[in-house]
């Protein structure tokens, strides 16, 4: 009997947070990677399982999300990946991000692990890029005022990526803690010439805005985003883990778009969880998945007065796509640390 081939060893690449930062991946590259994988999803060229949650016995300090996905259009024969991301709101007291994440990438042809990557940046950047891709297809091209609620986690990527796509006249930001919103505004002013205004509450940030992004970090549901704040023609993106959306918000929406309808129906959390559970948002009232819009199979914005809402829960395939972008850049730069797997 012929012996199986002997391998000298299997190595994988570990990329720390500083390693990823030094690669200099641009917002434009991340938006492009996310838009391509959204289009691939619309073509049925991705595979992913519904996210699952691990809720430790920790007195409500936080929980873990586990995301699993595969993208057939990446690399020579696709890339598979698993990301674990914590959602720990009180982490600011420790000087840490509320969302700390790790992703592992695999070769789907043989199961060999290829990389372990600090995915904290990936989580922030791919979420902001998804907001930007949605706005590119669903917001008015002449949008001038951005209102953003929430100052941590993905907030910085949300605002800066939208700012890169639109000729904004004003960015309004707010959050629950005054010191948090002031620090957020300071960071934004360092990287943009667009005027940044800090508001005292969500209503002031959203009222009359062209693009409204709700990324609050609530611990209990509260109707901070309601129909009275959404003017005709507005593009609305609510995605807080705990809902800040009023039950009647969808009554004024002309179109509701999601990243994936199956994902929207799964899990315990999400901005429109109540609307799905009560039937307010259903397969009949849903306009489209974003992949169908990006791929041209369903219309996006058709009228300047349409109110359009995008609910994206965060697809694992986005993490895989951005992770692969980072890995390829790291391989070319010989960055990171090679670890012996076996």
Q: Pick the more confident residue, 156 or 268.
A: 156
Predicted pLDDT at 6: 64
Three-state helix/strand/coil letters over the chain: CCCCCCCCCCEEEEECHHHHHHCCCCHHHHHHHHHHHHHHHHCCCEEEEEEEEECCCCCCCCEEEEEEEEECCCCCCCEEEEEEEEECHHHHHHCCCCCCEEEEEECCCCCCEEEEEECHHHHHHHHHHHHHHHHHHHCCCCCCEEEEECCCCCHHHHHHHHHHHCCCCEEEEECCCHHHHHHHHHHHHCCCCCCEEECCCHHHHHCCCCEEEECCCCCCCCCCECHHHCCCCCEEEECCCCCCECCCHHHHCCEEEECCHHHHCCCCCCCCHHHHHCCCCCCCCCCEEHHHHHCCCCCCCCCCCCCEEEECCCCHHHHHHHHHHHHHHHHHHCCCEEEECC
Listed in order, the ranges of the chain carrying CATH 3.40.50.720 are: 128-314
pLDDT in tens, 87-104: 898 888 898 888 899 999
Region 8-27 average pLDDT: 95
pLDDT band at 218 (very low <50, low <70, confident <90, very high): confident
Q: Pick the more confident residue, 129 or 277.
A: 129
pLDDT band at 4 (very low <50, low <70, confident <90, very high): low
Region 62-66 average pLDDT: 92
pLDDT band at 164 (very low <50, low <70, confident <90, very high): very high
Say which CATH class 128-314 falls into.
alpha beta
Predicted pLDDT at 89: 82
pLDDT in tens, 230-276: 999 999 999 877 778 888 999 999 999 999 999 888 767 777 888 88
Average pLDDT over the chain, rounded to an integer: 92
Predicted pLDDT at 53: 87
Predicted pLDDT at 276: 84
Percent of the chain with pLDDT over 90: 75
Region 115-131 average pLDDT: 95
Predicted pLDDT at 269: 74
Listed in order, the ranges of the chain carrying CATH 3.30.1780.10 are: 11-122+317-340
Predicted pLDDT at 3: 57
Region 213-237 average pLDDT: 88
The architecture that CATH gives domain 11-122+317-340 is 2-Layer Sandwich (3.30)
Predicted pLDDT at 224: 85
């Amino acid at each position: 009997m012929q012996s199986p081939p002997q391998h000298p060893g299997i190595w994988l690449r570990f990329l720390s947070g500083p390693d990823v930062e030094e690669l200099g991946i641009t917002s434009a590259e991340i938006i492009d990677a996310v838009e391509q994988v959204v289009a691939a999803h619309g073509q049925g060229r991705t595979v992913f399982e519904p996210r699952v949650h691990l809720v430790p016995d920790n007195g409500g300090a936080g929980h873990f999300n586990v995301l699993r996905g595969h993208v057939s259009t990446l690399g020579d024969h696709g890339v598979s990946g698993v990301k674990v991301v914590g959602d720990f709101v009180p982490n600011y007291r420790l000087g840490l991000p509320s969302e700390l994440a790790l992703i592992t990438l695999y070769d789907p042809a043989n199961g060999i692990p290829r990389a372990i990557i600090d995915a904290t940046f990936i989580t922030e950047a791919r979420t902001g890029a998804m907001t930007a891709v949605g706005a590119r297809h669903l917001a008015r091209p002449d949008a001038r005022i951005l209102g953003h609620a929430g100052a941590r986690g993905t907030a910085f990527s949300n605002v800066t990526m939208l700012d890169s796509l639109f000729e904004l006249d004003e960015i309004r930001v707010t959050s629950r803690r005054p010191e948090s919103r002031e620090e957020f505004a300071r960071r934004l002013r360092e990287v943009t010439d667009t005027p940044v205004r800090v508001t005292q509450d969500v209503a002031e940030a959203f009222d009359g805005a062209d693009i409204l992004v709700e990324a609050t970090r609530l611990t209990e549901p509260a109707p901070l985003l309601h129909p009275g704040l959404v003017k005709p023609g507005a593009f609305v993106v609510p995605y807080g883990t705990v809902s800040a959306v009023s039950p009647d918000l969808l009554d004024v929406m002309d179109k509701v778009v999601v990243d994936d309808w199956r994902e929207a129906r799964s899990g315990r959390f999400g901005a429109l969880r109540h609307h799905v559970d009560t039937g307010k948002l259903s397969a009949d009232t849903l306009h489209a998945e974003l992949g169908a819009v990006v791929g041209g199979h369903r219309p996006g914005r058709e009228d300047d007065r349409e109110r359009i809402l995008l609910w994206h829960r965060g697809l694992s395939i986005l993490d895989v796509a951005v992770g692969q972008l980072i890995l390829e850049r790291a391989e070319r730069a010989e960055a990171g640390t090679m670890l012996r797997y076996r």
